[in-house]
Amino acid sequence: MQPQENAEPYDQSDLFRLRHTAAHVMAQAVLELFPGAKIGIGPPIVDGFYYDFDLGADEDGHPRTFTPADLERIEKRMRQIIAGKFPLRYRVVTADEARDLFKDQPYKLEIIEGLLRGEFNEYGDDVEDMARAVENLVISTYRHDTFEDLCKGPHVAHTGLIPVDAFQLTGTAAAYWRGDQSRPMLQRIYGTAWHSKKDLKRHLQLLDEAKKRDHRKLSRELELYIMDEEIGPGLPLWLPNGNILREELEKLAREMEDAGGYQRVATPHIAKEEFFRHSGHLPFFAESMYPPMEREDTRYYLKPMNCPFHHKIYASKPRSYRDLPLRLAEYGMVYRYEQSGELFGLMRVRASEQNDAHIYCAEDQVEAEFMTVIDLYRRYFELFGIERFVMRLSLHDRKRLGVKYADDEAAWLKAEEIVRRVMRRAEVPFVEARGEAAFYGPKIDVQAWSVIGREFSLATNQVDFVQPARFGLTFTNRDGQPEMPYCIHRAPLGTHERFIGFLIEHYGGNFPVWLAPEQARVIPITDDHHDYARRVAAEMEEAGIRVRADLGSDRMGAKIRDAQLMKVPYMAIVGGQEAAAGTLAVRYRDGEQRNDMPLGEFVAHVRRRIKTRSPEL
């Protein structure tokens, strides 16, 4: 485990300035090459930058898009502007000057009016504190050469500081103006910029590797899941191979939870509207929920979370301090209406199965319980070889108490302090984010990086003092008095969907033996060896190994290639010599090979790997 490397915030770094300036240079190039273009916004982003443009409509009335040839021309013009070493000049302008400057740029005009009303910032993002935004309003621009943009910086001193061989336009995408599907569709150009050609090359290699590891692509090749338009977007169907991953993860979670004193429960997928009002999911969480269904004058909702169901189980009988902590666990299906534009493979779906549990405990037990949860996270991360992660502690925002957050600031502060103390004591790397909490308590999200450095948000964890109160949960304390328990929500593996999506990319499909849908494949050298192949497979199967004997009509070479494509950890090649000696020629997924391996020895080896959930072959 290592803390996050760069202490300097990205938006104050040299790379941020470089990329921000590259975005301006790109906008100038586009305006010169497409004189009628309207410009949207163009911020730096992780690893690069983009800018949004409106090129008007083509002959068929569709939005005109950028072609690869366009990108080449734009890049070429950018190099010329860079070579011009034009200084970036900052100036403050009045509202009227700004309106005049951008009189031909309707999107900029909209932003100027938004700025004046305190509604959004230069990037069109909504502002939380409008009064303060208006009070502190400064309208500023940055200008270089012929291009001037509504902008508060920062930038590099002159365009020549963008290394001419270390930037590249990487692609285009459609993007709605201000992310709103009812607004015009703009054309976004993505670019990346680095300090040196070497950095750029490394980045492009990583992108390439990420593409190869894309979980949607690998899932097709390895037959893990499918989506079916007729069923609906964001609703994955797990194929037999993918379902093995789910079951192995669930088995792991069950073992961990059994050892941790959890009890398993199961709850239905729907409940009445009143129930979700009671829990506060309505209205706080309404926009993420499916609309209700009605039957005999009663409205039902699909559950977006398992929590309130577990609260009911807690409340189903009187509890004493001796019963606490009470830990209820469930792999529960939840349904959330993600916007169409946000759906993404397994990463964002509309139905997902959560590795959920709720720990009910007395106030003086919260710290110890929370610590155990953090330890659980660490054990999972170690098992999966997740070396780089950071936890984000999301806090309430006092300005939104009663709107987004339960209205009890003292309780918020207390719960936040408990969580903060545990994180410090556990020496877990964490950052704090105000205004990102769940409506019922401070939340910890885990950002993890896969081995190739792609960032994922995986698990969540909350300390809840609101729902126990809403449900009137109590226990009888040592003094015989009723007391309210705290509730710790934890889902260290998040959802099956996202976690498996992460694992596919993390391992590049080369799952460790215990997870691999097919652990070994037996390949006979010729048809004469089918009997022995069958016997070998039967023996492995008996030993609990997921194995298949490939008795098809393909030649051995084709069978080996097929097993390689499916990333099977072991191939057991068998011919006359092996049959006579009761051995195997074992080919490992990484290319290693061992001949004359006694069958019993191989079986014992694979079983050991499975049992210890070893990352080794």
Catalytic site includes residue 356: yes
For the CB of residue 302, give the shortest distance to Zn ion in the complex, in Å. Answer: 16
Total binding residues toward Zn ion, as defined by CB under 5 A: 2
Q: Closer to Zn ion at the Cβ: 110 or 436?
A: 436
Name the one range near Zn ion by CB under 5 A: 80-88, 172-180, 276-284, 302-310: 302-310
Q: Closer to Zn ion at the Cβ: 336 or 489?
A: 489
Q: What are the φ/ψ torsions at residue 469 (nearest 5 degrees)?
A: -70, -45
Residue 407 backbone class (left: φ over 0; alpha: ψ -120 to 50; beta: rest): beta
Name the one range near Zn ion by CB under 5 A: 187-195, 222-230, 300-308, 493-501: 300-308
Q: Closer to Zn ion at the Cβ: 168 or 461?
A: 461
Catalytic site includes residue 506: no
Catalytic site includes residue 407: no
Q: Closer to Zn ion at the Cβ: 39 or 374?
A: 374
Catalytic site includes residue 20: no
DSSP string, 351-406: EEEEEEEEEEE-GGGHHHHHHHHHHHHHHHHHHTT--EEEEEEEE--GGGBTTTB-
The CA distance from 128 to 413, in Å, is 21
Which of 188, 336, 506, 559 is the catalytic position?
A: 336
Angle (CA) 179-182-184 rounded to 5° is 75
Site map (CB under 5 A) of Zn ion, residues 137-176, x = contact: ----------------------------------------
Contacting residue, 252, 307, 324, 357, with Zn ion by CB under 5 A = 307
The CA distance from 441 to 401, in Å, is 12
Q: Closer to Zn ion at the Cβ: 242 or 332?
A: 332
Catalytic site includes residue 358: yes
Catalytic site includes residue 487: no
For the CB of residue 393, give the shortest distance to Zn ion in the complex, in Å. Answer: 17
Which of 307, 350, 361, 521 is the catalytic position?
A: 307
- Contacts (CB under 5 A) with Zn ion, residues 474-513: 489
Angle (CA) 611-614-617 rounded to 5° is 110
Which of 64, 443, 498, 567 is the catalytic position?
A: 443
Task: Tell me the torsion sign for CA atoms 93, 99, 100, 102.
Answer: positive
Residues ≥6 apart with Cβ < 8 Å to 536 = 522, 549, 572, 574, 584, 599
Residues ≥6 apart with Cβ < 8 Å to 477 = 321, 362, 483
Q: Closer to Zn ion at the Cβ: 438 or 610?
A: 438
Name the one range near Zn ion by CB under 5 A: 100-108, 172-180, 202-210, 303-311: 303-311
Strands 326-335 and 263-264, bridge-based pairing: parallel
Q: Closer to Zn ion at the Cβ: 328 or 520?
A: 328
Q: Is 67 exposed, middle or buried (0-12, 13-18, 19+ CB in 10 A)?
A: exposed
Catalytic site includes residue 278: no
Which of 28, 354, 467, 519 is the catalytic position?
A: 354
For the CB of residue 407, give the shortest distance to Zn ion in the complex, in Å. Answer: 20
The distance of Cα 128 from the centroid of its chain, to the nearest Å, equals 25
Q: What are the φ/ψ torsions at residue 520 (nearest 5 degrees)?
A: -150, 150
Other beta carbons within 10 Å of 257: 19
The CA distance from 498 to 152, in Å, is 37
Dihedral through CA 564, CA 566, CA 572, CA 576, nearest 10?
-80
For the CB of residue 492, give the shortest distance to Zn ion in the complex, in Å. Answer: 13
For the CB of residue 305, give the shortest distance to Zn ion in the complex, in Å. Answer: 5
Site map (CB under 5 A) of Zn ion, residues 253-292, x = contact: ----------------------------------------
Which of 489, 490, 498, 587 is the catalytic position?
A: 489
For the CB of residue 100, give the shortest distance to Zn ion in the complex, in Å. Answer: 53
> Which residues are tagged catalytic?
307, 336, 354, 356, 358, 443, 489
Residue numbers at the binding site for Zn ion (CB under 5 A): 307, 489
